[in-house]
Amino acid sequence: MMQIKNRSLVSITDYSKEEILRILDIAEGFEENQRQKILSDYVVATLFFEPSTRTRLSFESAVQYLGGGIIGFASADVSSVKKGESLKDTILTVSNYSDLIVMRNPMDGSARYASEVSPVPIINAGDGANQHPTQCLLDLFSIRKTQGTLDNLHIAMVGDLKYGRTVHSLVQALSLFNTTFHFVSPESLKMPSSVKTWVKKAGLEYHQYTEFKEVIPIADILYMTRIQGERFPDPLEYEKVKNAYILDNAMLKNSKDSLKVLHPLPRVNEINEDVDNNPKAYYFQQAQNGVYVRQALIAAILGLK
């Protein structure tokens, strides 16, 4: 196992299975005791070049529970980027003011580039359509917590599997844990072949469906995603599928007792609100787990855990 200390996290594949499990173990400690002021001598920069509510607030909440200082911006409009500053210059400048940089940027690959030029570690909080590794870690944390293990599970992913970056990273990470995958999507939003190749190379099974109902009884986890209308070149095509992947409470009747429903949020209408009170609904706790996982990651990268 390489050291996590002082290493950037750009893509979930930067971490080995052992490193992922180590972060999840540290996160469990923060779940038990969230307020540990171990970061009181540290400053974390959160550079959000595009808006984000959940991710930015949960990172800032994580830093504050750890007692650290935060600097940064929540939109490129208020930074020197507007004046034409290069990403490299912004990163080099901010690295003088902070011990760790959390960055979201709309350019694909920007986090890898930032990690190459930055003297302090970078945590990728989303680089365009590419990677969002802390979402992946919190998904893994949520799956392990609710199922007691990450090994040998049946994971069903539903909705937009073509463009949804969270499902791609999650498949890569779960491929380390002997998962059986069930991909449910309209024909036009199927899982890309590069991701399916990843599953095959790991020697694992995947099954593809366009019908939603048949996977519910066999799934341990139902990972729901939003189907965005703007993804469809033909609006008629969207109209045809938009209601085909909506989960309601009655559909969960024949599911396993241990099933949990996850969603990276925000949801629009893909999970009916009548599911919210079902004990199998886990998406809001999932968002809460994001704070523990981000606390763990920050603490580990700064060498404090």
Partner 1 sequence: MKDKRTELKVSAIRSGTVIDHIPANTVFQVFKILGLQNSTNQVYFGTNLDSQKYGKKGIIKISGKCFEEKEISKIAIVAPTATIIEIDDYVVTKKENVHLPEHISNIVKCFNPKCVTNHQKVPTAFDLIKDHNGKMKLLCNYCEKTMGQENIEFI
| Touching partner 1, residues 250-269 (CB under 8 A) | none
> Do the Cβ atoms of 248 and 274 come closer than 8 Å?
yes
The residue (of 40 and 193) whose beta carbon lies closer to partner 1 is: 193
The residue (of 109 and 303) whose beta carbon lies closer to partner 1 is: 109
Q: Is 82 in the site for partner 1 (CB under 8 A)?
A: no
Instruction: Pick the piece of the chain touching partner 1 (CB under 8 A) from 124-132, 138-146, 178-186, 253-261.
Output: 124-132
The two three-digit tokens of residue 8, written as one number: 């950037």
Mark whether 55 is an active-site residue: yes
- Which member of 132, 182, 226, 260 is catalytic? 132
The residue (of 12 and 281) whose beta carbon lies closer to partner 1 is: 12
Q: Is 135 in the site for partner 1 (CB under 8 A)?
A: no
Mark whether 54 is an active-site residue: yes
**Contact pattern from residue 181 through residue 220 relative to partner 1, giving x for each residue in contact according to CB under 8 A and a dash for the rest:** ------------xx--x--x--------------------
Q: Is 40 in the site for partner 1 (CB under 8 A)?
A: no
Closest alpha carbon to 98 in 114, 75, 82, 83: 114
Dihedral sign for Cα 184, 223, 215, 21, please: positive
100-105: strand order across its sheet: 69-73, 43-48, 100-105, 122-127
Peptide linkage before 266 cis (omega within 30 of 0): yes
The two three-digit tokens of residue 6, written as one number: 């002082």
Q: Is 107 in the site for partner 1 (CB under 8 A)?
A: yes
Mark whether 83 is an active-site residue: yes
150 CB-side CA count, 13 A: 20
Rounded Cα–Cα distance for residues 85 and 94 (Å): 12
Q: Least distance from C-beta 87 to partner 1, angstroms?
A: 5
**Contact pattern from residue 145 through residue 184 relative to partner 1, giving x for each residue in contact according to CB under 8 A and a dash for the rest:** ----------------------------------------
Rounded Cα–Cα distance for residues 36 and 64 (Å): 10
What is the residue type of 52?
A: S
Q: Least distance from C-beta 194 to partner 1, angstroms?
A: 6
Rounded Cα–Cα distance for residues 222 and 165 (Å): 17
End-to-end C-alpha distance for the chain, whole angstroms: 15
The residues annotated with a catalytic role in the active site are 54-55, 83, 104, 132
What is the binding site for partner 1 (CB under 8 A)?
11, 86-88, 106-110, 112-113, 127-131, 193-194, 197, 200
